Amino acid sequence: MGDGSPLPRRRRTHTGEQRGTSLAHLQPAKTTPPRIVLVHSPSAADGPVSSAAVPRRADVVVVGGGVIGLSTAWRAAQAGMAVVVADPEPARGASWVAAGMLAPVTELHYGEEALLEANLAAARRWDAFASELAAAATPVGYRRCGTLLVAADDGDRAWARELFEFERTLGLEVEWLTGRQARLMEPALAPGVRAALWAPGDHQVDNRLLLGALLVASRAAGVVVVPESVQAVDVTAGSVSGVRLSSGTGIEAPAAVLAAGCRSGLVEGLPESVLPAVRPVKGQILRLRPRAGGPALGRSVRAVVEGSSVYLVPREDGSLVVGATVEEQGFDTTVTAGAVYELLRDARTVVPGVSELALDEAVAGLRPGSPDNGPVVGAHDAVSGLVVATGH
């Protein structure tokens, strides 16, 4: 995600927003009956530009066209640079498989106070960022809805209460609610919900609208989006001299931004020492569609259910994003029966009416996990012109 996004999490009890590699788009509604079926990504041939249009040179090549890559490219183009974004499937990737939670408070982990500060600072910038992007392109579904962290049973309540006390000592804006108070805010919550932590500052963005807006804004600012993967970054005499695409085409450039998510460490041509230590952290999410009689949530709900975490993020159109698993499975994006089962089980526990919603989509993505859960961002001394931006 962009600046204010939460960080990927490795622990099941603290799932962050989802990032992944699945790239297909939602099919438009038709009159024939629907089903859920495995589909695959649009091919590179469907991409926004043909290979014939690949520029020979640029001021900077951004490797990866997710939220981070496109945001970087947009800003670079606004600063007057000639920018190329290379991604086999632009505006998809990890950023597509996400819930868009911008929730530093309800995602806080013990021992990550420094990261919290960075996340809070980023979250504060989201309002302006969303407005600027909407004005430059299209709305991004930024909702100042807060987040309710719900505890399902007594053990979950104890865990949430500890987090609440800890957050109070940090001066964070949080409020403790009884189960009844939580249900007054969200009547769709199960009667059994024990308590909740209310974080009024933890908001959300519609990650798919965001990707679309970034693509429009980037292009409008002059960014050329090339639907190809980068095979290698070329280094000459210690400086970036360009990139080579998977097709063999070369682009000359004095600078490159590594923003390829969990694949950022796989680019060839660079010394081992500068490659970011990111790994794929699999997350599976569901998208549910509203139906008559189905529950409506007014705000994001994060829940702890017998120690497991699940979140339900309502979009403006009434649909619900339910996430997410946290799995160390390597580069595997299979949607598994077990993950879908567990997500539905936990979601139903806190919002029983979820059963009545239509299941529109299940998808797995790969977050770029970093050793300390923090983003890996910055220029490298070892290779002049190389900037890393991943692990968000």
Q: Which residues bind its own copies (CB under 8 A)?
A: 20-24, 26-27, 29-30, 32-41, 43, 89, 97, 286, 288-289, 291, 333-338, 340-341, 344-345, 347-348, 354-364
Closest CA to 10 of 375, 333, 339, 280: 280
Distance of alpha carbon 225 from alpha carbon 173, whole angstroms: 40
**Least CB distance to its own copies at residue 361 (A):** 4
Smaller CB separation from its own copies, 146 or 294? 294
Residue 237: how many other CB atoms lie within 10 Å = 6
Is 249 within 8 Å of 381 (Cβ atoms)? no
Smaller CB separation from its own copies, 366 or 386? 366
Is 392 within 8 Å of 5 (Cβ atoms)? yes
**Least CB distance to its own copies at residue 31 (A):** 8
Smaller CB separation from its own copies, 24 or 81? 24
Closest CA to 164 of 212, 114, 122, 199: 199
**Least CB distance to its own copies at residue 183 (A):** 21
Smaller CB separation from its own copies, 17 or 234? 17
**Least CB distance to its own copies at residue 26 (A):** 7
Smaller CB separation from its own copies, 37 or 237? 37
- The structure tokens 């013990």 sit at 110
- Write the DSSP assignment of 91-140 as a string of letters: T-HHHHS---EE-TTTT--TT-HHHHHHHHHHHHTHHHHHHHHHHHS---
**Least CB distance to its own copies at residue 285 (A):** 9
Is 105 within 8 Å of 204 (Cβ atoms)? no
**Least CB distance to its own copies at residue 326 (A):** 16
Smaller CB separation from its own copies, 1 or 23? 23
Distance of alpha carbon 147 from alpha carbon 152, whole angstroms: 16
Is 96 within 8 Å of 208 (Cβ atoms)? yes
**Least CB distance to its own copies at residue 374 (A):** 26
Q: Is 37 exposed, middle or buried (0-12, 13-18, 19+ CB in 10 A)?
A: exposed
Smaller CB separation from its own copies, 263 or 380? 263
